[in-house]
Amino acid sequence: MNLTRRKLFLAAAAVALPKVGSPADLAKMIVRSSRPEDLEMPLQGFNQWITPVDQFFVRCHTYIPEPPKLDEWRLKLDGVVNQPITLTLDDLKTMPRVEMVAVVECAGNGRSFYQPRVAGTQWAFGSVGNARWTGVRLRDVLQKAGLKDSAQHILFDGADVPLGKMPDFQRTIPVQKALHPDTLLAYAMNGEALSQEHGFPVRAIVPGWASDSWVKWLQHIEVLDHEFEGFWMKTAYRHPAHPVEPGATVDPKEMIPVTDLNVKSVIATPLSGWIKPGRVRISGTAWSNTSPVARVDVSFDGGESWKPAKLGKDKGQYAWRLWQLDWQATEGAHTLMARATNADGQTQPLEQQWNPSGYLWNAVHRVNLQVTTQELIDLPYDPRPPEHPAGYQAACLTCHDESMMVQQRLTPAQWDRELNKMTGWGAPLKPEDREAILKYLSTQFHP
């Protein structure tokens, strides 16, 4: 092949292959579930202003779809509009381009800390990250089609296909939020094409709101003149409008959709455990909803007294804010705490109000330290797996692996409800195997 032909060949190959961003580095992540993929960023990640894509948390309700061929990919927009439209990625890229740093946080971040425990992915701190998003205003796209006066909700649908009889992941946002100039359709993250895990080629950016609204792998937007009845709006991602007793069953009529995030901070260093006496730098990150972080206060004595931390200079309305404070650690037991407050005066609670799905955890983070001059050893960990009961493989491990259950430590009644839900979603659970499987789940993965 001569040079010109080779160049032409390379150019053709570049057009045919979608330029998908790079995937997460599993060695840098806490794997909550490998299939579907749920990856958590470890605490160390909270020391960086922009979260690198290879350390960015991933949350998928089902398997990640194959990347579409970009010359075939289309975004369809219809519903109560004057003129339904179909856009290519190039169409989007020729529209006014917007860049914004924003935090994306799963509504379930911190779920593992709720007592009594709740079902679902058992996130600790790291189902959150701060990225630079590039794309277009959703408003500009909607205006191309022209909203009718009756428009109320904007329905996002991605290319992911549900598992079994699970309902399709479809979410709506109200038209006011959709028309806000900061609500975007993004095609790039940290300066590169979106990766397959984060929604290639286009995802929704709904800053200040929990990330269940940030639909990935977008291919269809429908403008509705009514409230959407789908499972992921009417049943999932709802929390009680008023405080409820821990462990209570809440009437669905008392539940409202999760929207805004809660103001929150995380201590990245030091980690809980043993440290030597001397000067210690305490550092971490704080973020909020549409009202930016105004201050972070740190306590070295379990909340008796508080000192303002120094905030980092990098900031943005929806971005997170690094903070730090130096401390002279003396021998003995100490509890460090960090508490963020936003410009609206919202601050973190010392104790979390419980809710049935374990959403929006933002209680003050506590780090327990033993400051000592002694040398320390780690205890060994026994990873031997227990034996599986009959039918478990077929009924439970066809769609996902056991990490899904290992992380959820539930009561027998909660496992019983999970089995009903999964059977409803098509899990081939034989009635004669049910009791043994319920017993196995309840004894292996209990609170």
Ligand X SMILES: Nc1nc2c(c(=O)[nH]1)N[C@H]1C(S)=C(S)[C@@H](COP(=O)(O)O)O[C@H]1N2
Binding-site ranges for ligand X (CB under 6 A): 56-61, 104, 106, 158, 160, 169, 197-198, 211-212, 214-217
Distance in angstroms (rounded) separating the CA atoms of residues 409 and 421: 17
Taking the complex as a whole, the smallest distance from the CB of residue 148 to ligand X amounts, in Å, to 26
Distance in angstroms (rounded) separating the CA atoms of residues 164 and 170: 16
In the list ligand X, Mo ion, none, the entry touching 58 (Cβ below 5 to 8 angstroms by class) is: ligand X
Closest-CB residue for ligand X? 158
Which one among 39, 106, 329, 404 touches Mo ion, defined by CB under 5 A?
106
In the list ligand X, Mo ion, none, the entry touching 216 (Cβ below 5 to 8 angstroms by class) is: ligand X
Distance in angstroms (rounded) separating the CA atoms of residues 108 and 400: 19
Q: Is 127 exposed, middle or buried (0-12, 13-18, 19+ CB in 10 A)?
A: buried
Residue closer to ligand X by CB (options 59, 117) is: 59
Distance in angstroms (rounded) separating the CA atoms of residues 154 and 80: 10
Residue closer to ligand X by CB (options 61, 321) is: 61
In the list ligand X, Mo ion, none, the entry touching 112 (Cβ below 5 to 8 angstroms by class) is: none
In the list Mo ion, ligand X, none, the entry touching 89 (Cβ below 5 to 8 angstroms by class) is: none
Centre a 10 Å sphere on the Cβ of residue 390 and count the other Cβ atoms it contains: 13
Residue closer to Mo ion by CB (options 80, 210) is: 210
Residue closer to ligand X by CB (options 237, 323) is: 237
Taking the complex as a whole, the smallest distance from the CB of residue 21 to Mo ion amounts, in Å, to 20
Tell me the Cα Rg of the chain.
24
Q: Is 441 exposed, middle or buried (0-12, 13-18, 19+ CB in 10 A)?
A: buried
237: left (phi over 0), alpha (psi -120 to 50) or beta: left
Taking the complex as a whole, the smallest distance from the CB of residue 110 to ligand X amounts, in Å, to 12
Residue closer to Mo ion by CB (options 323, 359) is: 359
- What are the distances in angstroms from CA 235 to CA 23, 60, 115, 295? 31, 18, 22, 35
Taking the complex as a whole, the smallest distance from the CB of residue 210 to ligand X amounts, in Å, to 7
Taking the complex as a whole, the smallest distance from the CB of residue 127 to ligand X amounts, in Å, to 6
Residue closer to Mo ion by CB (options 128, 145) is: 128
Taking the complex as a whole, the smallest distance from the CB of residue 420 to ligand X amounts, in Å, to 22
Residue closer to Mo ion by CB (options 104, 194) is: 104
Extract the tokens encoding 189: 């993250």
* Residue owning tokens 């007294």: 305
Distance in angstroms (rounded) separating the CA atoms of residues 254 and 169: 23
Q: Does 59 bind Mo ion (CB under 5 A)?
A: yes
Taking the complex as a whole, the smallest distance from the CB of residue 180 to ligand X amounts, in Å, to 19
Name the residue among 337, 334, 333 with its Cα closest to residue 284: 337
User: ω into residue 201 within 30 of 0, thus cis?
Assistant: yes
Query: Taking a C-beta distance cutoff of 8 angstroms, is the pair 338, 362 a contact?
Result: no
Closest-CB residue for Mo ion? 106
Sign of CA dihedral 156, 98, 181, 340: positive
Residue closer to Mo ion by CB (options 288, 299) is: 288
Q: Does 132 bind Mo ion (CB under 5 A)?
A: no
In the list ligand X, Mo ion, none, the entry touching 222 (Cβ below 5 to 8 angstroms by class) is: none
User: ω into residue 428 within 30 of 0, thus cis?
Assistant: no
Residue closer to ligand X by CB (options 214, 440) is: 214
Taking the complex as a whole, the smallest distance from the CB of residue 213 to ligand X amounts, in Å, to 8
Distance in angstroms (rounded) separating the CA atoms of residues 442 and 445: 6
Extract the tokens encoding 117: 């425990």
Taking the complex as a whole, the smallest distance from the CB of residue 318 to ligand X amounts, in Å, to 15
In the list ligand X, Mo ion, none, the entry touching 158 (Cβ below 5 to 8 angstroms by class) is: ligand X
> Mask: binding to Mo ion, 203-222, rule CB under 5 A, as x and -?
---------x----------
Q: Using CB under 5 A as the criterion, which residues of the chain lie in contact with Mo ion when the complex forms?
A: 59, 106, 212
